[in-house]
Structure 1
Amino acid sequence: MRTLNLGILAHVDAGKTSLTERLLFNAGVIDKLGSVDTGDTQTDSLELERQRGITIRAAVVSFRIGDRIVNLIDTPGHPDFIAEVERVLGLLDAAVVVVSAVEGVQAETRVLVRALRRLGVPFVFFVNKVDRLGARY
């Protein structure tokens, strides 16, 4: 059985955990979507994460798609927790870099992309929050 380690990376508040939640729901891993605002997502398990609505510790949820095991890794976006993200980067087979259409590319986004390129990790951009007021395409 093959394994894919897929990281979800972005600056703070771009929507990493919400995207992770949606991917888990669409893959049939969870029956109900959780919300960062209500503190009931699959990957934010620390009490402080739930209270503050931010990811502090990288979290992994594993599931199967066909003959492949996918390890979906939700990472912190706040610069204070960049060391947690750096520990994950070397494990990734690929990454999704989430960019908010409202805030745009942030300094943290550039740091993450440089690191992914340096490590040779393939990645795609996912533009999130396109339905929000002030979104720029």
Structure 2
Amino acid sequence: MVTIVVIAHRPLASALVTAAQHVYSRDPCAASRQLVGLDVAPDAELGDAVAQANALLQSVDRSQCILILTDLLGATPGNVAARLAQPGRIAVVAGVNMPMLLRALCYCESSLDELVAKALAGGANGLLQLPAFPGASTTPSDGKAPERKR
């Protein structure tokens, strides 16, 4: 099983972890999944954030691989994640979103390489432009949401 770690700008990491736990709250297998998050403060120094991340990773079973999902490449959380990458043991994917995280959780029993591919596909497939609701006004005159026609 692969442990999933979300490292993102505060409060995104904890929000994604909480939302994923909510989605899988009725799943009896969810308790066996390892999912942790690290919120990086806006004023965090890179060295301090790396130390926090390393401390978090110490709590993970050393025999398990780790998939780190981070929000933004080039920002402090992404830089922290990049410093933790270890070929064959710790993989890093940037651009985390809810579909990516949920897909990764569904396949956390896969190999690390397969899990990376599944997470990337889940993230990309979750990006869609939704069509306007049939019969919905695109410019409501009263400022209220359009009512659904039945």
TM-score category by the smaller chain?
Answer: 0.3 to 0.5
Greater Cα radius of gyration, structure 1 or 2: 2
Greater per-residue strand proportion? 1
Greater per-residue helix proportion? 2
TM-score by length of 1: 0.47
- Higher relative contact order (Cα pairs below 8 Å, separated by 6+ residues): 1
